[in-house]
Structure 1
Amino acid sequence: MLSPLTKANLGLLVFAFRKVPLIWMTRPRLLAIDGEQVQVKLPLNRRNKNHLNSMYFGALAVGADVAGGFLAMHKAHLLGKKVSLAFKSVQGEFLKRPEADAVFVCKDGALIDDMLNRSIETGERINEAVEILVYCPTLSKDEIMARFALTLSVKVKP
C-alpha cells in the first residue's frame, strides 16, 4: 500500500504530464504536505539551469506555482470539492543564486482553508496572495534564496 505522500507525488506527476508538461519536465517532488504547509523539491539539472549554473528563474516560477497550487488542490480534494484554480499575478524577489536543488515552502494552509470556505459560502471566486519561500538546504539550511507572492484565485465548482 502506498503512503499518502507517495500517492500525492504520483498524482502530481500524472497531472503535470497530462495537463502542464512544463511542470513534468522540471520533475518536482513533494517532500511534505499537511494541513498547514507543503514542501516541494525541484532538482537542479541540465533542463532548468541557466548559463551561471544556477536555477533558471522560469524554473523557480514553476516550483512556486507547484507549491502554492498543489496545497490548494490538496485541500480542495480533502473537502471533496472540485475547484477552478489559477494564479492572477506573481511577484518574485531573487535574493541569492540557487546553485543546488531548491525546496519551495508554502505555509499558507490556513489562508487557503479560509479562501475555500468563503468560495463555498458565496459561490464567488476568491483571490488572495500566498507566499512561497525558496531554500537550498545543501548550500545553506535557513537562507532564503527567493521569495514569491502569487495571487491565488480559487472558485469552488457547484
Structure 2
Amino acid sequence: MTVTDTPQAATFRRQVLSPVKLRLFLMRKLPMAWLAGLRLTQLTPEQAVVTIRFKFLTQNPFRSIYFACLAMAAEFASGIQAMMHVQAGSPVSMLVTKMEADFTKKAVGRIAFTSTDGPLIAQAIAESRATGEGRTVVCTSTGLDEAGDVVAVFRITWSFRAKR
C-alpha cells in the first residue's frame, strides 16, 4: 500500500525533524526520552529511524544500554509515525497494548531503530476513522548497531480508535 503524503503530515514531519523543535517536544511531552537522548534521524510516510547512544544515563550494570531505553527508542520509531498519520484528519486515540522483544546482541555505541510500518499504521487509522471502531497494528522496530548487526527486534501492538 502506498501512503499519500498530506500537507498536515509534511508540516508535522518538518517540525519533528528540526533538532531544536524535537528536543522541545520531548522535554514537554516525553521527558525521559529527552533525558535518554533519543534522536529522530529519518521520518517519511513509510518509515522512521530513531537513534539512542550508550551513555551514563542509558547504561545498565553490564556496560550496555538498558533494555527499557532500547524499548523507548523502538516504541518512539513506530509512535512518531502514528502521530504523523493522525495529523491528517479527525482526532484518533492511540495506545500501546502489547510489546514483545528479542535481544540478540549487547547494545553498545549508537543503536538505530527502524520501523517500516507507516502504510499499515495509515491504513488502520483510515479504517478506524471510516468505521468508528478500533483497529490494531503490530509494528516491528529493528535495532542495528554501528556495524549493522541486529541488536534487538521489538514488536509493538498499537491500538487506534477514532474519537467521536
Q: Give the AA of the match of 2:136.
A: N
In the other structure, the counterpart of 1:55 is 65
- Distance across 2 between alignment mates of 1:13 and 1:157: 28
In the other structure, the counterpart of 1:154 is 160
In the other structure, the counterpart of 2:47 is 37
What TM-score comes out, normalization by structure 1 length?
0.87
Counterpart check, 1:17 vs 2:37:
no
Aligned-residue CA RMSD in angstroms?
1.9
The CA deviation at 1:62 is 0.6
- The 3 A distance-change label for structure 1 pair 4 and 90 is closer
Comparing 9-18 and 145-154, the one that deviates more: 9-18
Select 2:130's aligned residue among 121, 134, 150: 121
- Percent identity between matched residues is 27
The CA deviation at 1:124 is 1.6
- The 3 A distance-change label for structure 1 pair 8 and 81 is farther
How many residue pairs match? The answer is: 152
- Distance across 1 between alignment mates of 2:53 and 2:80: 18
**Equivalent position SS for 1:47:** helix
In the other structure, the counterpart of 1:7 is 15
In the TM superposition, structure 1's runs of 4+ consecutive aligned residues that sit over 6 Å from their partners are none
- The 3 A distance-change label for structure 1 pair 153 and 11 is farther
Comparing 35-44 and 5-14, the one that deviates more: 5-14
In the other structure, the counterpart of 1:133 is 142
Select 1:68's aligned residue among 78, 83, 104: 78
Query: What is the CA deviation profile of residues 81-119 of structure 1, one whole-angstrom value per residue up to 9, with x for unaligned ones?
Result: 432111001001000011111101000011111111111
* Structure 1, unpaired ranges of 5+: none
Q: Is the 8 A contact 1:5 1:30 kept in 2?
A: no
The CA deviation at 1:52 is 1.7
In the other structure, the counterpart of 1:88 is 97
Q: Is the 8 A contact 1:67 1:106 kept in 2?
A: yes
- The 3 A distance-change label for structure 1 pair 49 and 112 is same
Q: Is the 8 A contact 1:98 1:145 kept in 2?
A: yes
Q: Give the AA of the match of 1:59.
A: C
- Distance across 2 between alignment mates of 1:16 and 1:36: 22
- Distance across 2 between alignment mates of 1:11 and 1:68: 19
Q: Is the 8 A contact 2:26 2:33 kept in 1?
A: yes
